[in-house]
Amino acid sequence: MRCVVGIDLGSTTTKALLLTEDGEVLGRGITNSRSSYDVACAVAREEALTAARFRILERLLQDAGDLGHRLKEAFRLELYLDQLGRLGEEIRTLLDDPRERVWRGALAPAVEEILGRAEAGAPALFAAGPGGASAKERKSDFFRDLAGAAYVEGAEDAAVRGGAPFERLLALYDRAILSVETRLEGRDFPGLLRRAAARLRRGAAGALRMDRKLSKAVDAVASEPIEELAFAGTGYGRQTLPFPKETVRSEILCHGRGAHRLFPGTRTVLDIGGQDTKAIQVDPTGVVTSFQMNDRCAAGSGRYLGYLADELNLGLHELGPLALRATRKVRVSSTCTVFAGAELRERLALGETREDVLAGLHRAMMLRALSLLARSGGISDEFTFTGGVAKNPMAVQVLGELVADNYGGEVRTNIHPDSIYTGALGAALFALDDLAAGKAGLLPTFAEEATA
């Protein structure tokens, strides 16, 4: 396979997207941006390469029912178990620290029990079908989120039984996950894939159909070379990308071009990411004609929603559905991220429901976005909403209401299921341009290559 790569290094998530030389999407990858942008960049790219290989695998197994999907879930399980093993090793190393000597006797057995429970519960997270989660049902695909949820649950149980303080158990996890996430580990794709296939065979008690075809497909995909011909990068952290400066592009240009590629009729783009909001106008060819961005304050961005989720002890994905249950939208005075928690607590103390307060906060956030759109030139048909916040159903609903109220109901609003990859798509399209212009030699050096 031959492809080009676009990477969007955001403040909260990093995305990678592969395009064939014909411009077809080959694979997408995403990871949390961690405390190391270099590692996040390399991991997102590896995720995209993995997705590309599974696309080939599913094509080879297309007449084998859901075998390709089950193999992919088994692969994710094997990867998760490897990561869980590294987390355990790091926690045990921390327990050997002399500073933990006083509590080691209580913490060590509790940690082993917690990790054992997490490992035992892992198959249910990745088992497609009855009794198991599927990729669509999991609250997150990020290791930090899945392992953190399992660890916290186990730590709470250990603390209730006494002997191991919850705060100390949690501190071990917080220190260990930071170390694990900033240390890049090479991914043995062939080994993981073969382990996944072996797991499926064991689960089928020797009765797995098309066993020979599965083995041939696994061997073919594991050995399939992927040649990356050109790269381009963008995003909030683009200046830290390990790319030649000639291959780094503006977020504005990439989101405008990516949105136009997804919806050729696009004339106005709103991107709400983790740290900033961008209102963009493009011409019929996808070239940016004007734009506006929020200032350095993260008000009205995904970070704002993150603070609200933390304040309510909810997952970010739970905010939108909860707000949709509101009976009214409480009027709020500010979308300041710093004071988001205080605003929320004040309204709740006055007797307002969580649902109604969240609905009001979502409306305040989208009003801020609408003012940016107005300053950029308003909304023209077609209007495309991109970025991670486009997955929030309450944000989408409020935006639709505001657009209809201010610009009329005839404006078509586009939201792609993979809207979070729009910037990476735009970057990959610029990489295709570089390839066509003979700039394929401008290749980056990723973290694992630099330390090899």
Q: What percent of the chain has pLDDT over 90?
A: 45
Q: Is the pLDDT of residue 245 over 90?
A: no
- What does the DSSP assignment read for 266-297? --EEEEE-SS-EEEEEE-TTS-EEEEEE--SS
- Helix-, strand-, coil-residue percentages of the chain, each rounded to 5: 55, 10, 30
Region 187-194: mean pLDDT is 88
Contact criterion met (CB below 8 Å) for 17 and 231: no
Beta bridge partners of 234: 8
Q: What DSSP designation does 29 have?
A: E
Per-residue model confidence (pLDDT) at position 451: 39
The Cα–Cα gap between 189 and 221 comes to 10
The Cα–Cα gap between 395 and 401 comes to 10
Region 293-313: mean pLDDT is 72
Domains and CATH numbers, the chain: 1-54+232-263+427-452 (3.30.420.40), 65-209 (no CATH), 264-415 (3.30.420.40)
Q: Is the pLDDT of residue 139 over 60?
A: yes
pLDDT tens, residue by residue, 409-446: 889 999 999 999 999 999 999 999 999 988 766 667 66
pTM: 0.86
Q: Label residues 399-431 b or e (16+ Cβ within 10 Å = b).
A: bbebbeeebeeebebbbbebbbbbbbbbbbbbb
Angstrom distances, CA of residue 160 to CA of 76, 107, 156, 208, 268:
32, 14, 6, 43, 54
Contact criterion met (CB below 8 Å) for 26 and 19: yes
pLDDT tens, residue by residue, 205-229: 544 555 777 788 888 888 888 899 9
Per-residue model confidence (pLDDT) at position 126: 87
Q: Is the pLDDT of residue 267 over 50?
A: yes
- Sheet with 2-9, strands from edge to edge, namely 25-32, 13-20, 2-9, 227-234
Q: Determine which of 10-19, 129-138, 327-336, 398-407 has the lowest per-residue pLDDT on average.
A: 129-138
Per-residue model confidence (pLDDT) at position 130: 46
Q: For Cα atoms 35, 36, 42, give the angle at the middle one, nearest 5 degrees.
A: 135
Give, to the nearest 10 degrees, the angle between helix 67-95 and helix 211-222: 60
The Cα–Cα gap between 274 and 327 comes to 28
pLDDT tens, residue by residue, 74-111: 999 999 999 999 999 999 999 998 887 888 888 999 99
Per-residue model confidence (pLDDT) at position 299: 58
Angstrom distances, CA of residue 17 to CA of 125, 196, 239, 428:
25, 24, 19, 7
Contact criterion met (CB below 8 Å) for 19 and 6: yes
